[in-house]
Structure 1
Amino acid sequence: MRRELRYAVTGLRRRPLLRLVAWSVPEALPSAVLGLAVAHAVDDGFLAGRPLVGLAWLGALLLSGLAGAVGARQVFAALGDLVEPVRDDLVRRVVSGALRAGAAGRADDGAVSRLTRQVEIVRDRYAGLIVVCRGFLVTVVGATAGLLTIAPQVALLILPPFLLGCALFLATLGVAAGRYRAAVRADERVATAAGTVLAATRDIAARGAEEHAARMVAGPIAEQAAAERGLAWLAVLRTLCFAVGGWLPLVAVLAAGPWLVDGGVTAGAVLGGLTYVLFGLQPALARLFSGLGGSGLRFVVTLGRILDAADQPAPPPRPAIPLGYAVALRGVTFAYGPHAEPVLRGLDLDLPEGDHLAVVGPSGIGKSTLAGLVCGLLRPDAGTVLVGGCAAVEVPESARVLIPQEAYAFAGTVRDNLTYLRPDVPDPTVLAAAEAVGAAALVSRLGGLDADLRPAELSAGERQQLALVRAYLSPAPVAVLDEATCHLDPAAERVAEEAFAAREGTLVVIAHRISSAFRARRVLVLDGTGAALGDHEGLLESSPLYRELVGHWSAADAPAPTP
């Protein structure tokens, strides 16, 4: 916990912190005056037969409350200046760590959970801790000063059990921290399992693996539920500690009432002490327990998870491709889970440099899975996937470019969207690439390369055209189009595929239309039990599934294959 506490303390900016401390002084007035005003109102006012004096003391209490309200308002105004810089720093750490892991080919399954949920948990809890700890200190200092002023004997009865309750509560924080860590890890496992299942929805539905998918997420969900039940037991411990620190002082003062009166302590002083306990120390203790026992532990544990991931040393650089960029699959088997039916089984495939392969088959048969394996996004359960003689997952991303079905465009200029895989490319080359893949008219309509792009105003086909230009400009020698032209018409699809076929390098097309197979040098047919590889004419003779997919097409209707 030392690292997390050190981070929290060093994250406090000096000027907002001094402002917060300064405005805490007027806020402490009600806590200091509370019991004192009640004691004087009773002894010097109502019991002495001077009700106006008693009302005047209660009026002073009201005025101190107004001063405290002004201080509290200014405290909350300064809170944002303390908290938001910490949140911004954590976002930078999470994003930087995830990018480093991705660049090294190491999956960071918890990055989404850390960025979308855990950073916000830390931000909210950090603000809550500042408010709770500051309010607790303000109340305790004010109440202690007031107790010592009206009757030190009463203070000796109240403060020891109060401090004992605080100490007992602090002693439980170690156990509580362990349970919170378990809850955070369980939350990440649920996010990872759910993400895996959702990413494979199409293949799961095609294979009828819904029950297995449910079992994949059932274990993490049960683990998270057990962790949450463990957290609920912490409330029981907090209740016991609160009984010692919050109620035992009250019992002590009431039990010692006759002794206090015999010792010269006035009824107003006893009532003032009880007021400090009931309306000052008890609420402050309850807020502290709730803050540190709930928000505080979640803050420390969640912050620790973020810092652990962000502070991992940078992995060694991936090896360069020593033998070109030929792709080879040897006995590759892949399934979405240990008990699921394999999507690919024992697949052998060679893609020599400069090849043009179309992959066809029914929906959910494993075509996108094959693309993920070639690009190193998935690891095979058995067999190997090699690019240039190296394992695909260890090859630099610059060797391959993947265009998925749902193309991505971001706010920025048209040039930014087209060149972020190759930022130094000159404008004439960018325009030539747009012309080659059939996107020149789109670039012109958008206002040219310097025009601002609004992704929400683009159609799905226009986003695909931009992504095609982006991939065409990429230096990657292996291009994988995973139904990357499904929102284009057949003529536009043909222009784009022929441009990529003429581009230097290897092209793999996960076919959306069977016409992609006519343009390819070779075709891979996946049927769920095996694979057939050959050219268009040969597969028409040897593969019943390919003949079925071709359907009403004929060689006379189809474009001529690319030489």
Structure 2
Amino acid sequence: MNRPIRRALTRDPYQLVRLAGWSVAEAAPALVIGLAIARAIDDGFGAGRPATGFAWLALLGGAWLLAAVGARQVVLAVAAIVEPFREELLAHVVDDALRHSATSGQGPGAGAVARANLQVELARDAFASVITVVRSFAFTVVSVVLGMATLVPGVLALVLPPFCAGLVLFSLSLRALARRQRDFILADERTAGALADMVGGLRDITACRAEERVAGDVGLRVTEQARAARSLARVTALRTASLAVGGWLPVLLVLAGTPWLLREGAGAGVILGALAYVTQSLAPALGNLVEGLGINGVRLRVALDRLLRDGDPPVRARGRLAAESGGAELRGVTFAYGPHAEPVIDRLDLSVPEGDHIAVVGPSGIGKSTLAALLTGVLLPGSGQVMVGGVPADRLDPADRVLIPQQAYVFRGSLLENLTYLSGAPKEAVDEAVDEVGLTNLVARLGGYSAEIDSGLLSPAEQQLVALARAYLAPARMVILDEATCHLDPAAEARAEEAFARRGGTLLVIAHRLTSALRARRILVMDGTSVRLGTHEEMLAASPLYADLAGQWNPSSSQELVP
């Protein structure tokens, strides 16, 4: 979790040097404020020399002007460090989301979008705040110590011990504070999620008379959040105590030690100067550190924990299993969109051996895409079992199957990055895939694999070809094309489907045209009353729907199957 922070801080040493240099300028008032006040009073106004007094005040004013210039440059230097950090986190989140999308056939989920748009920005802002306050604290403390030592060294004995005690007290509470803050943030997220689910399902909750159960679940989340908030408040009290000890106890000790300082030869100006060092520089610096690390430091840690640990996709996803084969088995599978809805798929038994090539045919809305979603584990059956390669579909490792939906997914990046996203294939394999699925003309038009693309630069047909080539290169043993060629012309569609048939593995095609069915080894016909599986000749005899479609089909028209 600390690795991206170290990389951000060491990526460009020049920026660290630049930040340190301008921090010295920004800390100039902390160095001279007490000395200027003391000399302006004791050597200037108090001694009847107003010109000297104004000169010292002018020096202080010049320090503030220098600090203003330094502050502007510090912001720019911090941005130069933080923005690459943000880009690295964003690239990680997008990489994770795209990998999930490309392997599952689904677009980025709400969690990925939230990480990209909220947690990355939260981490960036928190990191910038932590850099700012830690840097400011360090340079301010050094400046104050040097200033006090120049003014009257004895005052350090009154200021430094309580200041260090407050700093130690805060350091000891920081770990507990981070833990409590993280618990509160997670509890808040769970409460928000429960409320969102409740609001989105109010009609279903009322229809099912589940008001009490849902209210109990939401109430439990609220109670957990309240408990986390109270725990956080108790630890926050230690933060306040550390600020009181380290920031304001030195003021009392300087005031109480005034007689001793006067006996040591300090004048009234020196006393006021010492108080100015503590109240105008040291205490605010400690307060900013306590506030910055206590809030933004914890936020940074929580955000990085969520982004890097929750988002890191291992080679084999946690809890996922590798397929033993590329086949599939459905046993008594029933699925309906809602507890009172008619089943879209009802008690379906289906065996798909490895290496089979099946085209799924039926009217729109009959359940073809639902079948694809069940095979990929995107949907869970209401009853029955869906096994892919001997593994429950919802536990199958994403690397073992790939679904290409009708809306092809293309992300901003180079063409090569889009093509090799699931495989990291060498150029020779990419060239083969491009040639097989018919992408050669697009590669030439774009100017090669290094061309930058996004969905806005490609037509729907070109996007589908890119997604098909990506799936062709993937190591998946099962490929499901859910009308993934609907924007291609018949010749391009035939070339792509034949390429996947030669590729090997199991191929399931949700047919958009009858020609897809004729190219398949077997045809699965879904007509709303039954599901039949067989060859073209067998389906002509067994399925009136298929016979009707085939009887009306004219090869030259490439009739679409969607009514």
Shared fold, TM over 0.5: yes
Are the aligned partners of 1:509 and 1:516 in contact in 2 as well (CA < 8 Å)? yes
Shift of 1:293: 0.7
Name the residue aligned to 1:17: 16
Confirm whether residue 163 of structure 1 aligns to residue 164 of structure 2: yes
Name the residue aligned to 1:330: 331
Shift of 1:407: 0.6
Name the residue aligned to 1:122: 123
Confirm whether residue 406 of structure 1 aligns to residue 407 of structure 2: yes
Name the residue aligned to 1:480: 480
Name the residue aligned to 2:360: 358
Q: Match of 2:27, SS?
A: helix
Q: Match of 2:163, SS?
A: helix
Are the aligned partners of 1:414 and 1:448 in contact in 2 as well (CA < 8 Å)? no
In 2, distance between residues paired with 1:479 and 1:532?
21
Q: Deviations over 1:261-284 (max 9, x none)?
A: 577542212221222222112221
Structure 1 residues 164-173 or 146-155, which shifts more?
146-155
User: Which amino acid in structure 2 is aligned with residue 508 of structure 1?
Assistant: L
User: Which amino acid in structure 2 is aligned with residue 433 of structure 1?
Assistant: V
Confirm whether residue 33 of structure 1 aligns to residue 32 of structure 2: yes
Confirm whether residue 433 of structure 1 aligns to residue 437 of structure 2: yes
Shift of 1:61: 1.4
Equivalence map 1:312-391=2 (5 Å): 315=316, 325-332=326-333, 347-352=348-353, 353-358=355-360, 360=362, 363=365, 367-377=368-378, 383-391=384-392
User: Which amino acid in structure 2 is aligned with residue 63 of structure 1?
Assistant: G
User: Which amino acid in structure 1 is aligned with residue 246 of structure 2?
Assistant: G
In 1, distance between residues paired with 2:219 and 2:474?
42
Name the residue aligned to 1:42: 41
User: Which amino acid in structure 2 is aligned with residue 456 of structure 1?
Assistant: G
User: Which amino acid in structure 2 is aligned with residue 409 of structure 1?
Assistant: V
Shift of 1:310: 7.7
Structure 1 residues 47-56 or 304-313, which shifts more?
304-313
Q: Match of 1:348, SS?
A: strand
User: Which amino acid in structure 1 is aligned with residue 356 of structure 2?
Assistant: G
Q: Deviations over 1:409-466 (max 9, x none)?
A: 34567787667766534858744633xxxx89x7499468779455313343443354
Shift of 1:341: 10
Task: Note closer, same or farther for the CA distance 1:410–1:342 as it changes in structure 2 (3 Å cut).
Answer: same
In 1, distance between residues paired with 2:7 and 2:414?
39
Task: Note closer, same or farther for the CA distance 1:94–1:505 as it changes in structure 2 (3 Å cut).
Answer: closer
Confirm whether residue 56 of structure 1 aligns to residue 55 of structure 2: yes
Name the residue aligned to 2:272: 271
TM-score relative to the length of structure 2: 0.71
RMSD (CA atoms): 5.5
Task: Note closer, same or farther for the CA distance 1:444–1:244 as it changes in structure 2 (3 Å cut).
Answer: closer
Task: Note closer, same or farther for the CA distance 1:449–1:162 as it changes in structure 2 (3 Å cut).
Answer: closer
In 2, distance between residues paired with 1:300 and 1:50?
55
Name the residue aligned to 1:524: 526
Name the residue aligned to 1:543: none
Confirm whether residue 294 of structure 1 aligns to residue 303 of structure 2: no
Confirm whether residue 456 of structure 1 aligns to residue 456 of structure 2: yes
Task: Note closer, same or farther for the CA distance 1:400–1:140 as it changes in structure 2 (3 Å cut).
Answer: closer
Are the aligned partners of 2:360 and 2:526 in contact in 1 as well (CA < 8 Å)? yes
In 1, distance between residues paired with 2:140 and 2:364?
70
In 2, distance between residues paired with 1:455 and 1:406?
11
In 2, distance between residues paired with 1:139 and 1:330?
71
Task: Note closer, same or farther for the CA distance 1:416–1:178 as it changes in structure 2 (3 Å cut).
Answer: closer
Q: Match of 1:480, SS?
A: strand
Q: Match of 1:350, SS?
A: strand
Shift of 1:55: 0.6
Equivalence map 1:49-128=2 (5 Å): 49-80=48-79, 82-83=81-82, 86-87=85-86, 114=115, 116-128=117-129
In 1, distance between residues paired with 2:252 and 2:350?
81
Name the residue aligned to 1:143: 144
Q: Match of 1:140, SS?
A: helix
Name the residue aligned to 1:131: 132
Structure 1 residues 374-383 or 177-186, which shifts more?
374-383
Shift of 1:20: 3.5
Q: Deviations over 1:170-208 (max 9, x none)?
A: 3322221112322454577689989999xxx9xx99xx9
Name the residue aligned to 2:536: none
In 1, distance between residues paired with 2:342 and 2:358?
29
Are the aligned partners of 2:330 and 2:348 in contact in 1 as well (CA < 8 Å)? yes
User: Which amino acid in structure 2 is aligned with residue 358 of structure 1?
Assistant: V
Percent identical residues: 43
Task: Note closer, same or farther for the CA distance 1:100–1:379 as it changes in structure 2 (3 Å cut).
Answer: same
In 2, distance between residues paired with 1:444 and 1:77?
41
Name the residue aligned to 1:179: 180
Are the aligned partners of 1:161 and 1:249 in contact in 2 as well (CA < 8 Å)? yes
User: Which amino acid in structure 1 is aligned with residue 9 of structure 2?
Assistant: L
In 2, distance between residues paired with 1:419 and 1:210?
50
Structure 1 residues 146-155 or 307-316, which shifts more?
307-316
User: Which amino acid in structure 2 is aligned with residue 173 of structure 1?
Assistant: L
Are the aligned partners of 1:357 and 1:521 in contact in 2 as well (CA < 8 Å)? yes
In 1, distance between residues paired with 2:469 and 2:449?
16
Structure 1 residues 418-427 or 69-78, which shifts more?
418-427
Alignment length (residue pairs): 533
Q: Deviations over 1:132-155 (max 9, x none)?
A: 112112222222333344345544
Shift of 1:68: 3.7
In 1, distance between residues paired with 2:103 and 2:420?
22
Task: Note closer, same or farther for the CA distance 1:189–1:482 as it changes in structure 2 (3 Å cut).
Answer: farther
Shift of 1:46: 1.4
Q: Deviations over 1:362-413 (max 9, x none)?
A: 74x7644431332355566765433444554676766544211211234567
Name the residue aligned to 2:428: 424
Shift of 1:344: 5.8
User: Which amino acid in structure 2 is aligned with residue 480 of structure 1?
Assistant: I
Task: Note closer, same or farther for the CA distance 1:210–1:287 as it changes in structure 2 (3 Å cut).
Answer: farther
Shift of 1:249: 3.3
In 1, distance between residues paired with 2:42 and 2:399?
84
Confirm whether residue 557 of structure 1 aligns to residue 556 of structure 2: no
Are the aligned partners of 2:406 and 2:484 in contact in 1 as well (CA < 8 Å)? yes
Q: Match of 1:424, SS?
A: helix
Are the aligned partners of 2:419 and 2:430 in contact in 1 as well (CA < 8 Å)? no
In 1, distance between residues paired with 2:229 and 2:543?
57
In 2, distance between residues paired with 1:224 and 1:335?
34
Q: Deviations over 1:37-85 (max 9, x none)?
A: 1111112211222211111111121233344445445544543554455
In 1, distance between residues paired with 2:292 and 2:182?
17
Consecutive unaligned residues of structure 2, counting only runs of 5 or more, are 534-538
In 2, distance between residues paired with 1:103 and 1:486?
18
In 2, distance between residues paired with 1:450 and 1:306?
30
Q: Deviations over 1:117-145 (max 9, x none)?
A: 44443343233222211211222222233
Are the aligned partners of 2:31 and 2:143 in contact in 1 as well (CA < 8 Å)? yes
User: Which amino acid in structure 1 is aligned with residue 484 of structure 2?
Assistant: A
User: Which amino acid in structure 1 is aligned with residue 52 of structure 2?
Assistant: V
In 1, distance between residues paired with 2:411 and 2:4?
34
Q: Match of 1:143, SS?
A: helix
Structure 1 residues 109-118 or 40-49, which shifts more?
109-118
TM-score relative to the length of structure 1: 0.71
Q: Match of 2:525, SS?
A: strand
Q: Deviations over 1:89-135 (max 9, x none)?
A: 65676677789999999x99966655554444334323322221121
Are the aligned partners of 2:39 and 2:56 in contact in 1 as well (CA < 8 Å)? yes
Task: Note closer, same or farther for the CA distance 1:230–1:343 as it changes in structure 2 (3 Å cut).
Answer: farther
Shift of 1:357: 3.7
In 1, distance between residues paired with 2:337 and 2:388?
23
